[in-house]
């Protein structure tokens, strides 16, 4: 799939968490082609500089920023550093996430907390810190009027179709992604008077390292050869194929652009027909 080089995000500053690889990398690449300066906010240090170098090669200025979205001090420091570098923040994509499998009966508090810390707590406090900055950027006259006639920021949260229904083999992950949908709705209402749009996306199966790890954890214990558990999972998708990271990125670019100015509080499934709403 080709990404349109329409420069819909020209001059915008976008923080993309977890953009060192996978879906986040595709979002960073797409946003850079669309003209945005991308902050690579990523915990996996070896991936940060190469991702930022690649994004910069597409014509904008990318900022490598190793950080942990679960650490509130690091979030605040990142917002301050990004503002010091670029002067403003226009877009946040909360993409960083963890997934692992654990049955209901075998769930441990440690596994539960590990996933919530990143997927919902990190997402909430990144949103809060960036939204505070976005609000600070709004002219006083607009704030006093109590309504904005245009968009003053875009927040896009990556949830999952696992957040649409409880999953027996990964309830901690389901809960974290359901929380993302709820946070999206609440944040959208809280930030609507400021003209800040908040929306979410639910992918189903996009072949990233997350699925390689899940296949390795789930298949062999059931006596399946490597890749077979993943293949069976894809077979359950009505369109009978996985999605691509570029398709998720394209939706993010649409929501982050002026084309998405009148959309807020919504959650979109990009899932080959797996969930219907
Ligand atoms: N791949 C899929 O099929 C799929 C389906 C539904 C939802 N999702 C969601 O999409 C998002 C991206 O997933 P992916 O498939 O690209 O997975 P991935 O594991 O390839 O990428 C996740 C990225 O987030 C980073 N990250 C993890 N913890 C972090 C932290 N504390 N601080 C900063 N960065 C952190 C990782 O280092 C990695 O670069 C996740 O939120 C995931 O839950 C993915």
pLDDT of residue 7: 96
pLDDT of residue 5: 58
Please indicate whether residue 18, judged by its CB atom, sits closer than 6 Å to ligand 1.
yes
Mean pLDDT calculated for residue range 91-102: 94
Beta-bridge partners for 39:
15, 63
Q: How far apart are the CA of 42 and the centre of ligand 1, in A?
A: 10
- Scan for tokens 């749009």, then name that residue: 197
Nearest CA to ligand 1 atom 23: 18
Mean pLDDT calculated for residue range 138-158: 91
Q: How far apart are the CA of 84 and the centre of ligand 1, in A?
A: 27
In the sheet that 153-158 helps form, which strands lie side by side, from edge to edge? 63-66, 37-42, 13-17, 91-94, 153-158, 196-203, 267-270
pLDDT of residue 3: 46
**Cα–Cα distance for residue pair 12/46, rounded to 1 Å:** 26
Please indicate whether residue 22, judged by its CB atom, sits closer than 6 Å to ligand 1.
yes
Place 2 in a pLDDT band, splitting at 50, 70 and 90: very low
Our answer to whether residue 25 is catalytic in this structure is no
171 three-class SS: helix
pLDDT of residue 104: 94
Place 243 in a pLDDT band, splitting at 50, 70 and 90: very high
User: Taking all residues of the chain, what is their mean pLDDT, rounded to a whole number?
Assistant: 95
- Atom number in ligand 1 closest to CA 69: 32
- Atom number in ligand 1 closest to CA 23: 16
Please indicate whether residue 214, judged by its CB atom, sits closer than 6 Å to ligand 1.
no
- Atom number in ligand 1 closest to CA 21: 39
Q: Do residues 172 and 109 touch, judged by C-beta distance below 8 A?
A: no
Mean pLDDT calculated for residue range 72-76: 98
Provide the Cα torsion 84, 87, 91, 94; round to 10°. Answer: 10
Q: In the predicted model, is pLDDT for residue 132 greater than 80?
A: yes
Domains and CATH numbers, the chain: 13-204+244-269 (3.40.50.720), 207-242 (no CATH)
Q: How far apart are the CA of 21 and the centre of ligand 1, in A?
A: 8
Q: In the predicted model, is pLDDT for residue 4 greater than 80?
A: no
Nearest CA to ligand 1 atom 44: 203
Render 107-166 in DSSP notation, one character per residue.
--HHHHHHHHIIIIIIHHHHHHHHHHHHHHTS-HHHHHHT--SS--EEEEEE--GGGTS-
Percent of the chain with pLDDT over 70: 98
Q: Do residues 246 and 3 touch, judged by C-beta distance below 8 A?
A: yes
pLDDT of residue 1: 43
Please indicate whether residue 210, judged by its CB atom, sits closer than 6 Å to ligand 1.
yes
Worst-scoring range by mean pLDDT, 155-159, 217-221, 255-259?
A: 217-221
Give the pLDDT confidence of 170-224 residue by residue, as tens digits. 999 999 999 999 999 999 999 999 999 999 999 999 999 999 999 999 999 999 9
Q: In the predicted model, is pLDDT for residue 145 greater than 90?
A: no
Q: How far apart are the CA of 209 and the centre of ligand 1, in A?
A: 9
Q: Do residues 91 and 85 touch, judged by C-beta distance below 8 A?
A: no
């Amino acid at each position: 799939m080709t990404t349109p080089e329409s420069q819909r995000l020209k001059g915008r500053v976008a923080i993309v968490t977890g953009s060192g690889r996978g879906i986040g990398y595709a979002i960073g690449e797409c946003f850079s082609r669309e003209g945005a300066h991308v902050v690579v906010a990523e915990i996996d240090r070896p991936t940060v500089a190469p991702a930022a170098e690649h994004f910069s090669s597409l014509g904008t200025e990318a900022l490598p920023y190793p950080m942990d979205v679960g650490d509130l001090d690091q979030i605040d420091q990142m917002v301050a550093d990004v503002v010091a570098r670029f002067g403003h923040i226009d877009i946040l994509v909360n993409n960083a996430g963890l997934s692992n499998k654990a049955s209901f009966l075998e769930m441990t508090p440690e596994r539960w907390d590990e996933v919530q810390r990143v997927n919902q707590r990190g997402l909430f406090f990144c949103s809060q810190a960036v939204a505070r900055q976005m609000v600070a950027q709004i002219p006083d006259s607009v704030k006093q009027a109590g309504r904005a006639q245009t968009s003053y920021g875009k927040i896009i949260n990556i949830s999952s179709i696992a957040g649409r229904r409880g999953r027996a083999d990964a309830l901690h992950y389901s809960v974290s992604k359901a929380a993302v949908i709820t946070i999206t709705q609440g944040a959208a209402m809280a930030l609507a008077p400021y003209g800040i749009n908040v929306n979410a996306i639910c992918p189903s199966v996009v072949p990233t390292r997350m699925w390689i790890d899940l296949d390795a954890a789930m298949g062999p214990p059931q006596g399946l050869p490597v890749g077979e558990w993943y293949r069976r999972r894809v077979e359950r998708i009505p369109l009978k194929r996985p999605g691509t990271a570029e398709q998720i990125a394209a939706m993010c670019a649409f929501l982050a652009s002026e084309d998405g100015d009148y959309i807020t509080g919504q959650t979109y499934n990009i899932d080959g027909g797996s969930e219907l709403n």
